[in-house]
Amino acid sequence: MVHSVRRLLPILLVPWLVDAKTLTAKIKTPINNTLEYGVATECKTCPYSLCTNKAYYDYGTTVTLLCWTVGTQIDNDTTWLETSDGCYVTQDDLMAYNGTYETDLSYCGEDSEEENLTFDTTVVQYDSECNICPDNLDCATVMYLSPDTEIIVTCWTDAGAAVIGDTTWLKTTDNCYVNEQGLRDPANKDILDNCGPIGFLQLNDTGSRKRESLPDRDPAPDLSSPPGTGIDLGSQYLVNLTVGEDYAYCYNCPNTTTCDVVTRYRFKQEVWMQCYYTAPVEVANETYWYETTDFCYVREVDFFQSLFDQYRFPDCSLFDQDTTTTSR
């Protein structure tokens, strides 16, 4: 019996010895590095662009890197690094390292390459901008979504800029955010994960395009005491404007001669606008039109305020073409 136990001891010790050897091989000294200046970085729960965020690092933050793994390709580089906060950043967001992470750090393991996402499908109701971060004023537009477009969303945040008082935005599989006011259905928070902390992000400088600038125009007439809307035109989208005539007629296309009246808005009624349209042929009082949430067009001159008071309000034509931009 004693001999049998002695013969079994080496066999029982082999798995323990292998595990100890593997564990020793995995543990390498962490490396400190600084996030590249001018680059704000999301630290993600998995090494893919669509993964939710666990942390958000501002410019110049020093992070401790524990191990490396493989994920979404960013600027021809698939290397992601796990930080001491238990989340992943791209090698591209770090200052140049005099070495090779794949050699100097341990591999994070096969589990680190899993892409853990939630999905839901929804449909665009109004012309909507899909932005690199959840704000229509400060964040660059990645793409323009027209009504009836079906999109897939992966997470939600209620920390975005308010649109008609609604701060909930959804991240799409195109890696941009759309406010739920522009969608048929609100965010299904029972299905989707929260996106986590989100900071101010910028488009990749290569191949990106900012929003179109508004055309130059003559100064608006001085209107005395227009009724207040309670809306800051410099920070909202969609935007409501107040009718300044007895009636503002809304046409099925932007032309009073060839188009039919769909509805009309009465004096001092507030009307929600989606975008502006510039008539190809200049006609008195019909140069600029606005598309309302009733999907018809009103003349600019029929309102107290102007959409041109709204910073970078979009041209309707942007929603009728492929206007996808390149993002990080």
Is the pLDDT assigned to residue 324 strictly greater than 60?
no
φ, ψ of residue 143 to 5 degrees: the values are -160, 160
Instruction: Tell me 127's DSSP state.
Output: -
- Tokens representing residue 220 in the block: 């608006």
Report the alpha-carbon distance of residue 12 to residue 320 in Å, rounded.
69
Report the alpha-carbon distance of residue 47 to residue 109 in Å, rounded.
12
DSSP assignment of 221-243 equals P--SSPPP-S--TTT-SSEEEEB
φ, ψ of residue 26 to 5 degrees: the values are -75, -30
Q: What is the mean pLDDT of the chain?
A: 80
pLDDT tens by residue, 124-152: 999 999 999 998 777 888 999 999 999 99
pLDDT tens by residue, 97-122: 999 999 999 999 999 999 999 999 99
146/195 same-domain check: yes
- Which helix (H) or strand (E) segment holds residue 12: the answer is helix 2-26
| Mean predicted confidence (pLDDT) in 235-241 | 68
DSSP assignment of 158-200 equals S-S--BTTB--EEEETTS-EEEGGGBSS---TTTSEE------
pLDDT of res. 119: 96
Count CB atoms within 10 A of the CB of residue 221.
Answer: 7
Report the alpha-carbon distance of residue 149 to residue 254 in Å, rounded.
23
**Would 11 be classed as within a structural domain?**
no
More confident residue, 16 or 287: 287
Report the alpha-carbon distance of residue 85 to residue 78 in Å, rounded.
20
Print burial letters for 293-315: b (CB count within 10 Å at least 16), e (below 16).
Answer: beebbbbbbbbbbbbeebebbbb
pLDDT of res. 321: 60
- Domain of 167, CATH number, reads 2.30.30
Is the pLDDT assigned to residue 85 strictly greater than 60?
yes
**Would 292 be classed as within a structural domain?**
yes
Confidence of residue 237 (pLDDT cuts 50, 70, 90): low
- Weakest mean pLDDT among 84-98, 106-120, 270-284, 286-300: 270-284
Give me the domain span that covers residue 171.
120-212
Confidence of residue 311 (pLDDT cuts 50, 70, 90): low
Task: Give the end of a domain, one of 113, 143, 165.
Answer: 113
Counting the structural domains of the chain, the total is 3
pTM > 0.75: no
**Would 221 be classed as within a structural domain?**
no
CA 108 vs. chain centroid, Å, equals 28
**Would 132 be classed as within a structural domain?**
yes
| End-to-end Cα distance, the chain | 67
92/131 same-domain check: no
CA 115 vs. chain centroid, Å, equals 19
**Would 145 be classed as within a structural domain?**
yes
Task: Give the end of a domain, one of 197, 212, 227.
Answer: 212
CA-nearest of 114, 111, 77 to 97 is 77
pLDDT of res. 164: 85
Residues 6+ apart with CB under 8 A from 229: 240, 241, 242, 270, 305
**Would 26 be classed as within a structural domain?**
no
**Would 104 be classed as within a structural domain?**
yes
| Mean predicted confidence (pLDDT) in 169-179 | 95
Confidence of residue 203 (pLDDT cuts 50, 70, 90): low
- Evaluated on CA atoms 96, 97, 102, 105, the torsion sign reads negative
DSSP assignment of 19-63 equals HHHHHHHH----EEEEBPTT--EEEESSSSTTSPEEEEE-TT-EE
- Tokens representing residue 133 in the block: 């971060």
Report the alpha-carbon distance of residue 122 to residue 10 in Å, rounded.
60
191/129 same-domain check: yes
| Mean predicted confidence (pLDDT) in 170-195 | 94
Is the pLDDT assigned to residue 90 strictly greater than 90?
yes
* 3-state SS, residue 316: helix
Is the bond preceding residue 238 a cis peptide, omega within 30 degrees?
Answer: yes
**Would 64 be classed as within a structural domain?**
yes
